[in-house]
């Protein structure tokens, strides 16, 4: 079995990805800029360590040499992500990452689609607990609607919970978007500036309700689905929202708060933290379809999702280029592969 490289392997999410690869018996190469931290992360294993900072293009490409794929866990991606994509393409490696950062994600599609196609490699960003399952369930929901959607609302309905230091720093790097001042929506065949949403409330999904009923208040938020979903779903309008009480938490992060956080939530906090992605599709005739996918431990599931994606790219013959998850993976099959890890999902349509 060919090696999988993990960039940012000594960080919180990176270590979870390395552990998931080891659990599946996949040879792994730990890559990052700090050799001491990488070697500590590799202790007790036969994993290979290669040192390369994002500022050294040649060293990065050399670090990925001989690997079948790269899983990028660096954060914030807004600051450090693009050199890793470039190096993976140059090394002829398939690529996935764990970003949820909308502006970075849009740049990856815009900047690397042609070079990835020419190199014959597949780039699938946003394979985290929001972007990956959210994109897949959106495809299945639109499919259940059976017609072009007049509107498609993608909602992150997770409750407040513990966050990693990397997530807090990502919020700082994306303050303009995550503070509600920027982002994109899709309307009439084009991405348009401004994170706007017609929906102020959404029905509680049947999956992941955990005792909640009725309607949930939501607010506009720059989620990755608005970049990926219009590439494989026919919809006049795609907008993204988040549970209203959670949105201000992202905009309120400070440097002091981020620095004071532990590297990641402890296992007990992760075990009870629930993530929930829901999609609401409405057709031109008023018909509707709804889908939802949920699970616990978003950080642990992100590692599972990223590794599952990377291994599927290596084992298959994916089309080259930068692609959304649902353009590469059969959505229901991929979600079914997550079920042993506690993921639940459902799709229902009117009638």
Lowest mean pLDDT among 108-112, 185-189, 207-211, 246-250: 207-211
Q: Would you call 105 exposed, middle or buried from its count of C-beta atoms within 10 A (0-12, 13-18, 19+)?
A: buried
Which residues span the domain enclosing 247?
A: 131-298+334-349
Q: Are residues 118 and 192 in the same domain?
A: no
Q: Are residues 135 and 250 in the same domain?
A: yes
Q: What's the half-sphere exposure (Cβ side, CA atoms, 13 Å) at 84? A: 33
Across residues 112-133, what is the average pLDDT?
Answer: 97
- CA–CA separation, 317 vs 332, rounded Å? 19
Q: Quick check: 83 and 54 in contact, CB under 8 A?
A: yes
pLDDT tens figures, 156-196? 999 888 889 999 898 888 887 776 667 899 999 999 998 77
pLDDT tens figures, 202-213? 999 988 777 788
Say whether pLDDT at 276 is over 90. Answer: yes
Please confirm whether the linkage preceding 76 is cis (ω < 30° from 0).
yes
Residues of the chain above pLDDT 90, percent: 80
- CA–CA separation, 45 vs 131, rounded Å? 31
- CA–CA separation, 37 vs 231, rounded Å? 39
Q: Would you call 28 exposed, middle or buried from its count of C-beta atoms within 10 A (0-12, 13-18, 19+)?
A: buried
Crossing angle between the packed helical segments 102-119 and 77-90, to the nearest 10 degrees = 10
Q: Are residues 162 and 286 in the same domain?
A: yes
Across residues 317-323, what is the average pLDDT?
Answer: 97
Cβ contacts of 252 within 8 Å, gap of 6 or more: none
How many domains does the chain divide into?
2
Q: Are residues 169 and 268 in the same domain?
A: yes
Residue indicated by tokens 């590799």:
42
List the Cα angle 143/145/151 in 5-degree steps: 105
Which band of pLDDT confidence, cut at 50, 70 and 90, is reported for residue 285? confident
Q: Are residues 19 and 122 in the same domain?
A: yes
> What pLDDT shows up at residue 313?
98
Q: Are residues 196 and 263 in the same domain?
A: yes
Residues of the chain above pLDDT 70, percent: 99
Q: Are residues 117 and 72 in the same domain?
A: yes
Q: Are residues 41 and 12 in the same domain?
A: yes
CATH of the domain at 254: 3.30.360
- 322 bridge partner residues: 123
CA dihedral (310, 169, 15, 293) positive or negative? negative
Q: Quick check: 157 and 276 in contact, CB under 8 A?
A: yes
Say whether pLDDT at 199 is over 90. Answer: no
> What pLDDT shows up at residue 227?
98
Q: Are residues 147 and 292 in the same domain?
A: yes
> What pLDDT shows up at residue 12?
95
Across residues 40-46, what is the average pLDDT?
Answer: 89
Across residues 306-333, what is the average pLDDT?
Answer: 98
Across residues 215-219, what is the average pLDDT?
Answer: 94
Q: Are residues 338 and 327 in the same domain?
A: no
Q: Are residues 194 and 258 in the same domain?
A: yes
Q: Are residues 117 and 137 in the same domain?
A: no
Which band of pLDDT confidence, cut at 50, 70 and 90, is reported for residue 351? low
pTM score of the predicted model: 0.96
């Amino acid at each position: 079995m060919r090696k999988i490289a993990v960039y940012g392997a000594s960080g919180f999410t990176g270590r979870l990805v390395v552990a998931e690869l080891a659990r599946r018996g996949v040879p792994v190469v730990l890559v990052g800029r700090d050799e001491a931290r990488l070697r500590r992360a590799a202790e007790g294993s036969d994993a290979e360590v290669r040192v390369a900072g994002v500022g050294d293009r040649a060293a990065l490409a050399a670090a990925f040499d001989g690997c079948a794929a790269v899983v990028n866990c660096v954060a914030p991606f807004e600051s450090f992500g693009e050199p890793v994509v470039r190096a993976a393409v140059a090394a002829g490696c398939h690529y996935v990452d764990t970003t949820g950062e909308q502006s970075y994600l849009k740049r990856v599609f815009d900047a690397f689609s042609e070079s990835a196609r020419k190199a014959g490699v597949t780039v699938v960003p946003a394979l985290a607990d929001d972007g990956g399952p959210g994109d897949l369930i959106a495809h299945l929901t639109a499919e259940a609607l059976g017609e072009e959607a007049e509107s498609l609302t993608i909602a992150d309905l997770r409750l407040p919970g513990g966050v990693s230091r990397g997530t807090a720093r990502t919020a700082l790097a994306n303050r303009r978007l995550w503070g509600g001042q920027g982002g994109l929506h899709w309307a009439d065949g084009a991405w348009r500036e401004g994170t706007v949403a017609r929906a102020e409330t959404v029905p509680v999904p049947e999956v992941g309700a955990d005792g909640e009923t009725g309607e949930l208040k939501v607010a506009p938020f720059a989620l990755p689905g608005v970049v990926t979903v219009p590439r494989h779903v026919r919809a006049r309008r795609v907008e993204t929202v988040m549970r209203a009480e959670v949105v201000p938490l992202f905009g309120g992060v400070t440097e002091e708060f981020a620095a004071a956080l532990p590297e990641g939530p402890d296992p007990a906090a992760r075990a009870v933290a629930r993530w929930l992605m829901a999609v609401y599709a409405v057709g031109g005739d008023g018909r509707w379809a709804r889908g939802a996918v949920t699970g616990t431990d978003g950080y642990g599931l992100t590692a599972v999702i990223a590794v599952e994606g990377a291994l599927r790219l290596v084992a298959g013959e994916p089309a080259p280029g930068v692609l959304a998850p649902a353009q590469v993976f059969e959505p229901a099959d991929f979600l079914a592969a997550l079920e042993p890890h506690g993921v639940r999902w459902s799709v229902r349509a009117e009638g």
